[in-house]
Amino acid sequence: MELPARESQPLGDTRTVGQFALVAYIPDPLARFLDDLRVDLTPGCKPHAHVTVLPPRPLCDDLRDTIQQIAEDTRGVAPFRIDLGEIEIFESSYVIYLGLYRGVSELRRLYRALNCGCLAYTENFPYHPHITIAQNILPEDAAQTALIARERWAQYRGARGFTVSTLSLVQHVGESTWADVAALPLGVEVPVGG
């Protein structure tokens, strides 16, 4: 969720209800740590640790056709590794996020390949792959919140990376509530046609 890089709308923003996003979920135990950290920093949120591939957008086509397009567009994409970097702050929104050390180029390629056809959408900011740690915080609280996040991240002793092998199409169905619509494995050949 950067100037000059990218901030997406937070996945809990009510302006996106009814819209769809494409994400790569982070596996446990890393996801559990990140979700717990996010709840500690912003109580009341409902996290499900992920990296966004396509930020929220309306669909201009049939859902089945959209899922088929994603499957076709990712059929030649092999699973890839993401390694996590450091805690950072988007200065324009005070969103605290975890930067990515590895996997950024693969995510950007996916974004460019998929942000077309029925998924084409013009966003307010350039795409910037990251993991949101805290959002909707007061500007005056951002530095202290980021400091706490950095201390907790420094104490984490588990794996700091994961392999993306499946993308999930999700729909924003209510305030801070996203529903899984389809799981799309990477590197799977999809029959074309009928």
pLDDT digits (tens, 9 = 90+) for 115-161: 988 888 988 878 999 999 999 899 999 999 999 999 999 999 999 99
Is the pLDDT reported for residue 9 higher than 70? no
> At the top level of CATH, which class does the domain 14-183 belong to?
alpha beta
Question: What is the domain partition of the chain in residue ranges?
Answer: 14-183
Q: What is the pLDDT of residue 14?
A: 60
Q: What is residue 117's predicted lDDT score, i.e. its pLDDT?
A: 85
Distance CA 48, CA 36 (A): 10
pLDDT tens for 64-105 read 989 998 998 898 899 999 999 999 999 888 999 999 999 999
Q: CA-to-CA distance for 34 and 42, rounded, in angstroms?
A: 12
Residue 22 has a pLDDT of 95
Token pair in block for residue 134? 């805290």
Spatial CA neighbour of 57 closest among 189, 184, 185, 172: 172
